Amino acid sequence: MIIAHNTVATVNYQLTSRDGDPLDDSEQSGPMVYLHGYRHVLPALEEALESAGPGDELVVELAAEDAYGPRQENLVFEAKRDALPEGLELTPGKRLSTGSYGRRFSLRVVRLTDDGAVLDGNHPLAGQWLAFRLSVRAVREATADEIRAQRAYGDTASRPQAAAWM
């Protein structure tokens, strides 16, 4: 079976920077499991994996614009302490999740200030050229429930389900 719309793909990966520095891999994080055709992975990766089958190996190189986009300096800002939830512990590097009306986004604490914290809403890999080495492990038909939910059971590429602030 090949990867196509409404199939569930299990893919091993190695993610490296332009310089070949390792950034992530499925040995540490587990394989990527996703429902194909629903943009649960980067569109360029989904396009590259279309029609691939178990045992196929691919290398996909992405400019920042095709990966997580360019860094946007307007997404780096200082949040005043009194605007943040009471009791929220802030430490540099901590990831926060917020949003409303079903839309979630992540922020990273860059540094603490006298009045609060500098937060960064960019994806940690924004602005970076990336290379993905992909190896398709398995492909199966999605179940009717998975198609209805538009996500695979065991989906590791799904959107975060976090509460207001983590």
**pLDDT 10s digits, 5-53:** 999 999 999 999 999 999 999 999 899 999 999 999 999 999 999 999 9
CA atoms within 13 Å, Cβ hemisphere of 141: 2
Any idea which architecture 73-120 has in CATH? Beta Barrel (2.40)
Residues of the chain with CATH 2.40.10: 73-120
What tokens appear for 26 in the block?
A: 């499925």
pLDDT at 166: 33
Any idea which architecture 7-69+127-149 has in CATH? Roll (3.10)
157 versus 162: which is more confidently predicted?
Answer: 157
Least confident of 12-26, 39-53, 87-101, 117-131: 87-101
Does residue 158 surpass a pLDDT of 50? no
CA angle 140, 37, 137 (to 5 degrees): 35
pLDDT at 23: 95
pLDDT at 101: 82
Sign of CA dihedral 139, 145, 146, 150: positive
**Under 8 Å between Cβ of 14 and 60:** no
